[in-house]
Structure 1
Amino acid sequence: MAESFERRKVLGYGVATGAAVLAGVVGAADLGRPRMTPAEPVDAGTAPGGTAEPMAARLEPPPEAFDTTPARQALRRLLPAHAEQIDLVAVPARDEVDRYRITGPSRPAPDVAVAIEGTSTAALLAGAGWYLKYLAGVTVSLPGDSLGQLPERLPAPSTAVSGAAVVQHRFALNDTENGYAGAYRTWADWQRLLDVLALHGCNEVLVPLGQDEVYRRVFAEFGYQPEELDAWLPAPAYQPWWLLANLQGVAGPTPPEVRAAGVSLVRDIVARLRELGLAPVLPGYAGMVPPGFARRHPGAPVVPQGDWDGYQRPDWLDTRDPLYARIAESFYRHQDELYGSGTAYKMDLLHEGGTSGGVPIGAAAVAVMTALQTARPGATWVMLGWQDNPRREVLDAVRACGLAACRTGRVLVVDGISDRGDTFDREGQWGGTAYAFGTITNFGGRSLLGANAPTWADRYPKALARPGSALAGTAWLPEASGHDPAAFELFTELAWRADPVDLADWFDRYAARRYGRRDDAAAQAWQAFARTAYALAPGPFSQAQDSLFCAWPDLSATAAAPDGPGMRYDGAAFQDGVLALLRADPALRAADAYRYDVVDFTRQALANHARVLLPRIKAAYVGRDLAGYRELTGRWLDAMRLLDALLATDERFLLGTWLRSGGYDARSLITTWGGRKPAAALHNYGARELAGLVADVYLPRWRRHFAAYETVITGAATDLAAADWYAADDAWARSGTGYPTTATGDPFAAANAVLALATAP
């Protein structure tokens, strides 16, 4: 890494202003020591990766640098009992680099314990997040926090420390996130999500929802009636894949009041992002048109896009045609009227297949960039790095076109698979196009834990140090946020670390930050997790295995989702970690994060146990061992009942919480994925372990399956009719059954009952 320091370059910004930019990335205070008392200052000089400065070196900023009120309000929302003890100080930015400094109070105020100086609202909040984790020793994450462990008086640093983002783009969220995370989330849900993303240093957030109203207004101008657009537009849970031009019309129409609420919600989201200093990244227009467009506009060069996993794709208009420019003008105009204009727009040409129909895709891309720059001069075109996207001819054409639009516009590829495969060469693959190092950690929002963390720690700093690197950012791209907080914490730190992260040290200290105090048993647990679930090799997957409890029953099942991996780490060693976690001091139960993790990691240990149990069930069946078969299948069904009871102890694992007011679209997305034909490839793609879903969908499946196989063992039947799992799941999805949104039971008692079963001989 020394070479990159000597070049004095902050990747994604160009030439910066010297070593101070890179040197001051704050690291972890020594959380292995005894708990700090309220009067004890934090020795910031012990922070690995950070730069300690004399307290007298504090900057004296002009008061008019920028308004700190939005950052102050965010802290009041996140930590209301302590926010007033943090003095936020705006300092003028010397360049585009976000910087912060954490010091003692910058003004005489008896109630102020710490001051955070920042060059922007985003920098102030990133500094506050780093202070909480590495100086105060607590976390606020997705999900869970340990704020309940804070002393009444916040600890003050004894020396000043500074930090700076080492890349310009800190991108967050995925095209599909609003589907798999819950298309019916409330404003309170979104507000917390945005605040926590800001606290973790993100500065660009994809907001794909609410675009159905834009398209309604656009194509009303091009001759479509409301009922025709109703038939084209999917229900909210499926709209992410409609925007990706993968499907149309699924589970619609959406009631007008739901559409209106969606517009209002998006307005609130983008307004809050702008307040926080984060850029909302909105969808751009790449040529998708409703059915029958060529009939209304004779001669329009419409290219049918065929099939996507059993769904009909929307048609695509050749973007070189003048009609495309007219539609694009309408699109950006109506989008601006609804949500305001932005600086970055996400869109992909021919995502996950499709066909160009003979249209030169490079020329089509130039037309898309021209329309974007006509409407939003200087805007960045954001593309997803996934499968064959973006095609090299697209990047080359936009880079070399010579038009003013190509010279003023920018391209950023947010890479979804930086941690997959045996090799990593985005420079060569994309010809020097700026890209963000990224990961998709939980396809479908499946219930699972783990990450290719060693690959992050290895590839990211090497890409930073590469001479002439095109690396310009990081991209946290979960298909559903609110899963696996450790992975979220680690990955979002990369953008603020100039030095490679020491994973062994990071995980060794993580438990103390996560739970707000040092505990030997919790530290032992996280050492085990670091060696198992968070030590995955790159290969073809960026996620760990899902739960067989969620699978369509099959005695040979290896995954719930058709494309899911098998076991990727030592389940017994992981289970030992969970047992250690439960041995932690009961005082940790005051931390919300500890209670959440007890449920989540115990859930995962039981899911791992199912992979040991199912082959034994199959062996008993093949051997016609009736007594063994009954004992083992009874154990499996008992495990599922205990699982449902465990999940019911935390509202974040309740089906009712996830559904909110969603109907068939939300229910089918996590079971059948809609129609029978798509289900063949996509059933259980969003497999979740949620209380209610386990009891009412998964458990009846397996009970029926085991009972049918038992008739073969007893000789009552010679063969089995194929079960129609789709029909059963679809009937449940259409049932409209309501589910609780309030947790019940004791998570620690439930976790101990689960582990008693999992560890029994």
Structure 2
Amino acid sequence: MSSGDPEQAPQWADTVRGLAHRVLGPVVAESIRFVTRDGAGRGYEYEARDGALTVAATDGVSASVALHHYLRERCGLSVGWDTVLPLGLTTLTDSPPRRGSARVQDGYYFNFCTFSYTMPYWDWADWEREIDWMALHGITMPLAITGHEAVLHAAYSLLDLDDQTIRGFLGGPGYLPFQFMGCLDGFAGPLSASWIERHRELGARVLDRERAFGMTPILPAFTGHVPPEIAASSRAGRRDWQGFETWVLDPADPLYERLSAEITRAQIKFFGTDHRYAADPFIEMIPVDADPAFPGAVAAATLAGLRAADPDAVWVMQAWPFSYQRDFWTDDRVTAFLDAIPDDRMLIADLWAEYDPLWERFEQFSGKPWLWCALLNFGGRTDPVADLRGVPASVDTALAAPNPPTGLGLSMEATRNNPVFFELVADQIWNQVPDLDAWLDAFVTQRYGRGPAALRTAWHGLLDTVYDPRGRRIYPAQFNGILTAKPSYTRMAQARADVTQALWYEPAVLAQAWERLIEVAEHDRDLANGPLGHDLVEVGIAFMARVADRYYLDAVERSVSGGTPALPEIARFLRVFEDLDRMLAARPEYTFQHWESKALSWAADPADRDVLLDNARRIITVWGTTDSPLLDDYAGRHWSGLVGGYYRDRWELWARGLDRALATPGAASEADLQEQLRDRAEAFLREGPAPAPADLGDLATESRRLFTAYAAQPSDNDL
């Protein structure tokens, strides 16, 4: 193996060795030696002899990738979000020399929203596990916003705002990422002083570890969004996002550049810098000035403020507005905006490139460096769905462009869902995937570490069903299924169209895949404690979501045709919620109680507890206020406590009023239902989820019970 000075341990060696200890345990990890590998770009070599593994790499992330590739290729084991660690290896398998090199310069990770929908309440143990996952999967450029509230507090203190005003402006802890993007302020708070200080410390610790691996974290930057107290004495415009009013400075106001610089200076003081700063001044809000030159003025002021504090600053911006509000962001407007910024001062994340690749529309962003990113997940929805077959070709096409992406990224709004999709994208940072079926076979073997061929057969059944949407748009604004939908009488007329749209595959194939997973779990219950358990739940959700759709359709059509509520069909429909809830309760991360307990772990006093509980309950249900429908159920999750409690209760209210709605169709019945639903939402915010079902079996038992009740007979599969 070629390498640098074999006597000189790399600077990153201790960090990667710590990862190896956590993944393999201390005994096996001590059999690994790390050395420096010379050469341009990111690369590695590994070789194993007589139970000892030598890894030569250009940097800490590449060394971590080498370790993961060795485990996958030679030991048949991978490390996922839900892998039980340490792995059960007792010795390291011999391996001839193997080399690898990255296909792109960087692996990007996260979305501002991820920090609200997945990790708002994480502690260091959660973050350490996540950073290990990042390193093993080739992530070199993570978005890092933990603790940014301390930066804003320090910067606004310089403008003579008092502590209470600033914390009120920052709002609730669960909504901070949306505050950082400039979407809202002062909502669901106030933020406690203890939260600010403890998260400043946590943010610094996260950054220290990421940098120790050799990662280049991206820190948040000023978007123009200011407190109303500052807007009142400045040149500022009012904006609206999903019913939330905010104020943004005019870029011609000198305060814009000053605040941009002060926030960056505070950022550097608290957290250091790697000269990458994320700011999205137009994220889902049309600019307050329609002048085509206005976005360029915002760009100039933003960049000037960044460079005043850090002359080497590079602005990282999500291209999402160009997709989300394409009526405003015409080709001419986007080109004018991009041309206002020097190419070496901006990096663009093409956020939804697996479905809506903007790089093709804007000719690789007029020469700017850019990232091909996969989004897939909106709001943290737990529906198992993705276009697996389309991803490799999409990545290869982008990399063959005249100005190819400098990196590939995962920009999901929440993690811990559809791991097969995100593993597939991350793998392509280092490896091309010419044969998806072969890749899937290897993924399944490595994910479980052992198990019969039935597991691979099951996964090919998933590939032919939920993971083959055939170009359909995967987006919350579309029908996502009755289980998490808000009841309505006016929507009943389109029930058949909704149900049909969600079913593009043969249900019997999905049922067969589900049963194969259950059979393996029944014979190897330890395996179900790890990734197999996660997959069992996801596939159970996939099947039961369509069962609920069908039963709802039966209840609606029989009630409408008979002119009176079809009580047996309605009872059968409501029973689905109760039965599914039991299965979900057997896996802790699929319980609302788990989410809520993580939130409460940050409560320093009773006042903190009230805000944390409200935030945890609110964002997963109504999102905003109970009288606003704009984001209601956006983050709908198939979680125990929601499915058998909150969601079922809403549909029971619908059923109780169905006779009146059928007898006297019109606005009155709908208005009455919506008022009752608001009352139920308010009760959930006060009281929280229903308790877990009693007398639960383990996940394999509960999965079999559910399968027997709903999928065991051929007629059950006629969804």
Deviation at 1:457, TM superposition (A): 1.2
Verify the 8 A CA contact 1:651 1:743 in the aligned structure 2.
Answer: no
Deviation at 1:100, TM superposition (A): 1.3
Work out whether 1:654 is the aligned partner of 2:587.
Answer: no
Work out whether 1:355 is the aligned partner of 2:287.
Answer: yes
Does the C-alpha gap of structure 1 residues 73 and 565 become closer, same or farther in structure 2, counting only changes over 3 Å? farther
AA partner of residue 269 (structure 2): E
Verify the 8 A CA contact 2:525 2:700 in the aligned structure 1.
Answer: no
Deviation at 1:744, TM superposition (A): 5.5
Verify the 8 A CA contact 2:322 2:334 in the aligned structure 1.
Answer: no
Work out whether 1:699 is the aligned partner of 2:648.
Answer: yes
Deviation at 1:410, TM superposition (A): 2.9
Q: If the length of structure 2 is used for normalisation, what is the TM-score?
A: 0.87
Identify which of 323, 333, 348 aligns with 1:413: 348
Does the C-alpha gap of structure 1 residues 642 and 742 become closer, same or farther in structure 2, counting only changes over 3 Å? closer
Provide the residue aligned with 2:15 in structure 1: 70
Moved more, 201-210 or 583-592: 583-592
Provide the residue aligned with 2:559 in structure 1: 621
Deviation at 1:72, TM superposition (A): 0.7
Work out whether 1:575 is the aligned partner of 2:575.
Answer: no
Verify the 8 A CA contact 1:672 1:683 in the aligned structure 2.
Answer: yes
1: CA distance, partners of 2:311 / 2:243: 39
Q: Encode CA deviations 1:39-58: one digit per residue, 9 max, x unaligned.
A: xxxxxxxxxxxxxxxxx667
Identify which of 578, 585, 589 aligns with 2:525: 589
Identify which of 298, 308, 327 aligns with 1:364: 298
Work out whether 1:339 is the aligned partner of 2:277.
Answer: no
AA partner of residue 456 (structure 1): V
1: CA distance, partners of 2:248 / 2:195: 27
Aligned residues: 681
Identify which of 683, 686, 690 aligns with 2:632: 683
Provide the residue aligned with 1:173 in structure 2: 110
Deviation at 1:730, TM superposition (A): 2.4
Verify the 8 A CA contact 1:72 1:83 in the aligned structure 2.
Answer: no
Work out whether 1:481 is the aligned partner of 2:415.
Answer: yes
Q: Encode CA deviations 1:397-424: one digit per residue, 9 max, x unaligned.
A: 676569xxx47x4321111211114986
The 5 A counterparts of 1:102-501 are 102-105=46-49, 112-145=51-84, 150-157=88-95, 159-296=96-233, 300-305=234-239, 307-313=240-246, 315-357=247-289, 358=291, 360-388=294-322, 406=342, 409-421=344-356, 425=360, 428=363, 430-466=365-401, 468-497=402-431, 499-501=432-434
Q: Which has the higher contact order (CA 8 A, sep 6+)?
A: 1
Residue 266 of structure 2 aligns to a residue whose secondary structure is helix
Does the C-alpha gap of structure 1 residues 491 and 504 become closer, same or farther in structure 2, counting only changes over 3 Å? same
Work out whether 1:100 is the aligned partner of 2:65.
Answer: no
Deviation at 1:707, TM superposition (A): 3.1
Work out whether 1:514 is the aligned partner of 2:447.
Answer: yes
Deviation at 1:380, TM superposition (A): 2.4
Verify the 8 A CA contact 1:450 1:536 in the aligned structure 2.
Answer: yes
AA partner of residue 548 (structure 2): A
Residue 171 of structure 1 aligns to a residue whose secondary structure is strand
Provide the residue aligned with 2:603 in structure 1: none
Q: Encode CA deviations 1:651-703: one digit per residue, 9 max, x unaligned.
A: 111212112213111211011012145x3121100001111122331121122
2: CA distance, partners of 1:135 / 1:689: 37
Deviation at 1:92, TM superposition (A): 4.0
Verify the 8 A CA contact 2:23 2:86 in the aligned structure 1.
Answer: no
2: CA distance, partners of 1:326 / 1:515: 53
AA partner of residue 619 (structure 2): L
Deviation at 1:328, TM superposition (A): 2.0
1: CA distance, partners of 2:168 / 2:686: 19
Deviation at 1:174, TM superposition (A): 0.7
- RMSD after superposition: 3.1
Bigger proportion of residues as helix:
2
Verify the 8 A CA contact 2:522 2:701 in the aligned structure 1.
Answer: no
Does the C-alpha gap of structure 1 residues 59 and 174 become closer, same or farther in structure 2, counting only changes over 3 Å? same
1: CA distance, partners of 2:358 / 2:210: 36
2: CA distance, partners of 1:422 / 1:436: 11
* Structure 1 unmatched ranges of 5 or more: 1-55
AA partner of residue 530 (structure 1): L
AA partner of residue 71 (structure 2): L
Q: Encode CA deviations 1:146-201: one digit per residue, 9 max, x unaligned.
A: 865x44223221x2111111111200011111111141122211211111111111
* Structure 2 unmatched ranges of 5 or more: 601-611
Verify the 8 A CA contact 1:126 1:200 in the aligned structure 2.
Answer: yes
2: CA distance, partners of 1:383 / 1:741: 45
Does the C-alpha gap of structure 1 residues 302 and 625 become closer, same or farther in structure 2, counting only changes over 3 Å? closer
Does the C-alpha gap of structure 1 residues 401 and 254 become closer, same or farther in structure 2, counting only changes over 3 Å? closer
Residue 629 of structure 2 aligns to a residue whose secondary structure is helix
Q: Encode CA deviations 1:287-320: one digit per residue, 9 max, x unaligned.
A: 2211032444xxx322222x1111112x111234
AA partner of residue 88 (structure 1): R
Residue 623 of structure 1 aligns to a residue whose secondary structure is helix
Does the C-alpha gap of structure 1 residues 130 and 424 become closer, same or farther in structure 2, counting only changes over 3 Å? same
Does the C-alpha gap of structure 1 residues 378 and 479 become closer, same or farther in structure 2, counting only changes over 3 Å? same
Residue 703 of structure 1 aligns to a residue whose secondary structure is helix
Q: If the length of structure 1 is used for normalisation, what is the TM-score?
A: 0.83
Does the C-alpha gap of structure 1 residues 573 and 691 become closer, same or farther in structure 2, counting only changes over 3 Å? same
2: CA distance, partners of 1:219 / 1:625: 62
Residue 217 of structure 2 aligns to a residue whose secondary structure is strand
